[in-house]
Amino acid sequence: MPVVVIANPKGGVGKSTLATHVAGYFASQGHTVMIGDADRQQSSRLWLGLRPPEARRISGWDLTADHLGKPPKGTTHVVLDTPAGLHGKMFKEVLKLADHVIVPLQPSVFDIFATRAFLDELAEHRQAAHLQVGIVGMRVDSRTIAADKLHEFVDSLGLPVLGYLRHTQNYIHLAARGLTLFDVAPGRVEKDLAQWEGICRWLDK
């Protein structure tokens, strides 16, 4: 059972947007999906509560920041949204569960340096435990110098950049309805779906 963890110790980088969309992608492929939210803000849980009954089913995994436990039986794919400030015991518990870790990262010098130690630690675990780790550039145009600097930084760690997601109102409007790009007609969000192709290929490995 693949467990995909969305993590970055810095707040406000787009963890819940990524978590809900990864869950939405798995559901669109016909998998039995569960999303857990260990963040105190409970954004992913709120999103799940807004999800319409006619949308592909995604179940909620009840957990707390103090106790993760194991995903319930009967689920084929799990996505875990983690809190800002992830470190210590909880960080280790999360990595025990994870098969894949996606780190959302905005291309500013402040975000990069705030995340550096976390990425270094992830790189060490990746080598020791065959953990798959990937970076997603958030709110960034891949044609900009900022994107080039982000790629240069991540390459120095030996971690892949899975894709760049542009800043668009599509994510905001869909979240307000408990939906993802994968729940609506592709023609409406074609440009955004194209940015997800590399992420989806990596998830399917």
Per-residue model confidence as pLDDT tens digits over 151-203: 788 778 778 889 889 989 999 999 999 999 999 999 999 999 999 999 999 99
Task: Identify which of 63, 165, 146, 23 has the alpha carbon closest to the alpha carbon of residue 104.
Answer: 165
How far apart, in Å, are the Cα atoms of 36 and each of 6, 45, 154? 10, 8, 27
Structure-model confidence comparison of residues 131 and 49, the more confident one:
49
**Which uninterrupted H or E stretch holds 79?**
strand 77-81
Q: In this model, does residue 15 exceed pLDDT 80? A: yes
Helix ranges (H only) for 4-133 are: 15-28, 43-50, 88-97, 109-129
Q: In this model, does residue 129 exceed pLDDT 70? A: no
Percent of the chain surpassing pLDDT 70: 95
| Res 145: pLDDT | 82
| Domain range list for the chain | 3-204
Mean pLDDT of all residues in 129-150: 83
Inter-residue contact 111 to 10 (CB < 8 Å)? yes
Band the pLDDT of 147: cuts 50, 70, 90: confident
Mean pLDDT of all residues in 35-42: 85
Residue range 63-105, pLDDT digits in tens: 765 666 677 778 899 999 988 777 777 777 788 888 899 999 9
- Assigned CATH class of 3-204: alpha beta
Per-residue burial over 126-135, b = 16 or more CB atoms within 10 Å of its CB, e = otherwise: beeeebbbbb
Band the pLDDT of 128: cuts 50, 70, 90: low
